[in-house]
Amino acid sequence: MFELQNVGYKQGGVDILKKVDWAIRGGEHWAVLGPNGSGKTTLLRVACGYQWPTSGRVLRGGAELTDLSELRRRMGWVGEELLSRVPREQTALQIAASGAIGQIGLRLIGQVDPTDEDYQRAEQLLVDSGCGGIVDSPFRVLSQGERQKVLVARARMTDPTLLVLDEPCAGMDPGTRERFLAWLQTQLTDKRSPSLLLVTHHVEEIMPGVERTLVMEAGRVAAAGPTAEVVTEGLLSRLYGVGVDQMVRSQGRMWPVWG
Ligand SMILES: Nc1ncnc2c1ncn2[C@@H]1O[C@H](COP(=O)(O)OP(=O)(O)OP(=O)(O)O)[C@@H](O)[C@H]1O
């Protein structure tokens, strides 16, 4: 689907990304792990076409990209920055439908409104994600889990081939998080879903459907491949500077017991 070859990103004389090679094929779901400041967000911004690398190549479908907006159109992004820009008084349906016109919520004047078909599609996406009961609720009253689902529905309005979820469980209580992750697992196994990139600091959030993991360390790819092979006690201890006493494996998930 897309490929980064020998990608570097330098800002203010600092190498933020160094010699990154990464290829994502259609239908693959990836987790992206790495300590704070290791370059995850920068990598995804390059991968999704929000910024050019300062060296290396970005390919899509085997051909080198010359137009980043082409890449951006095929990517959906759900993260903290987006969450903070949502107009809180607008309804779940309005927020979801605004994805069809490339906006975060609707402006009251001077814009092209979503069509009736867009609203129907947005409602269907919300219903399919178990949010049928909150379509007319203002965003401000929604739970953290519902907010994430509304933003996923918004991102899916343009049929992205790849969807980035940047720390979607941040701030969720354990019950909300587990219900959200159970829902995410159903999305991962649904053939209609786009490929997913899940950025997280918590290994246990890597659901069984996320079969591959890329690990960033100081701007480089420290490891990439099948999650079960890549995510080991030794790697986690080195990455985070805290020992892992044991890794509990249960129902396809891994729970590190930090020492
Ligand atoms: N525009 C910028 N100018 C200078 N330095 C930057 C810029 N953007 C990011 N950095 C630096 O690059 C490094 C990687 O940042 P990035 O946000 O990609 O890391 P991250 O792995 O996503 O971190 P976190 O887990 O904390 O979100 C950090 O040291 C950050 O301070």
What interface predicted TM-score (ipTM) does this complex get?
A: 0.93
SS (H, E, C) 49-70: CCCCCCEEEEEECCEECCCHHH
**pLDDT band for position 154 (cuts 50, 70, 90):** very high
Task: Work out the mean pLDDT of the chain and round it to a whole number.
Answer: 92
For residue 68, pLDDT over 80 is answered with no
The sign of the CA dihedral 251, 223, 203, 153 is: negative
**Which CATH class for the 2-74+161-258 domain?**
alpha beta
CA 15 / ligand 1 centre spacing (Å): 10
CA of 37 relative to ligand 1 center, distance in Å? 5
Q: Which two tokens stand for residue 158?
A: 């343009």
Cβ neighbours around 228 below 10 Å, total: 14
Tokens found for residue 159: 């049929």
Strands 244-250 and 220-226: unpaired
Instruction: Supply the pLDDT for residue 242.
Output: 95
Pocket test for ligand 1, best of 15, 33, 40 (most atoms within 8 A of CB): 40
Q: What is the pLDDT of residues 97-117, one digit of tens each?
A: 999 988 888 877 667 889 999
- Is residue 11 within 6 Å of ligand 1 at its C-beta? yes
Going by CA atoms, what residue is nearest to atom 29 of ligand 1?
A: 37
> CB count, 10 Å around CB of 164?
25
Mean pLDDT over residues 50-55, rounded? 91
Residue 39 near ligand 1, beta carbon < 6 Å: yes
Q: What is the pLDDT at residue 232?
A: 94
pLDDT band at 73 (very low <50, low <70, confident <90, very high): confident
The CA distances from residue 253 to 159, 188, 201, 236, in Å, are: 29, 14, 14, 15
Whether the per-residue pLDDT at 167 is higher than 80: the answer is: yes
Higher-confidence residue of 131 and 60: namely 131
pTM, whole model, 2 decimals? 0.91
Q: Rounded to whole angstroms, how far apart are CA atoms 209 and 238?
A: 25
Ligand 1 binding pocket includes 200 (Cβ within 6 Å): no
| Residue 82: predicted pLDDT | 86
User: Which numbered atom of ligand 1 lies nearest the CA of 16?
Assistant: 12
Query: Is residue 116 exposed (0-12), middle (13-18) or buried (19+ Cβ within 10 Å)?
Result: exposed
Measured from the Cα of 35, ligand 1's closest atom is 25
Domain coordinates of the chain in residue numbers? 2-74+161-258, 86-159
Q: What strands, in cross-sheet order, belong to the sheet with 55-60?
A: 14-24, 2-11, 55-60, 63-64
**CA quadruple 200, 201, 206, 211: dihedral positive or negative?**
positive
Take atom 28 of ligand 1 and give the residue whose Cα is closest: 37
**Of 55, 253, 254, 252, residue with least CA distance to 244:** 254
Cβ of 239 less than 6 Å from ligand 1: no
> What is the residue with the minimal CA distance to atom 18 of ligand 1?
39
The one-letter code for the residue type at 201 is H
C-alpha 61 to ligand 1 mean position (Å): 28
pLDDT tens readout for residues 186-243: 999 888 889 999 999 999 999 999 999 999 999 999 999 999 999 999 999 999 999 9
Say if CB 55 and CB 257 are below 8 A apart: no
- Per-residue model confidence (pLDDT) at position 125: 95
| Residue ID of nearest Cα to ligand 1 atom 30 | 37
The Cα–Cα gap between 252 and 208 comes to 5
Q: What is the pLDDT of residue 124?
A: 96
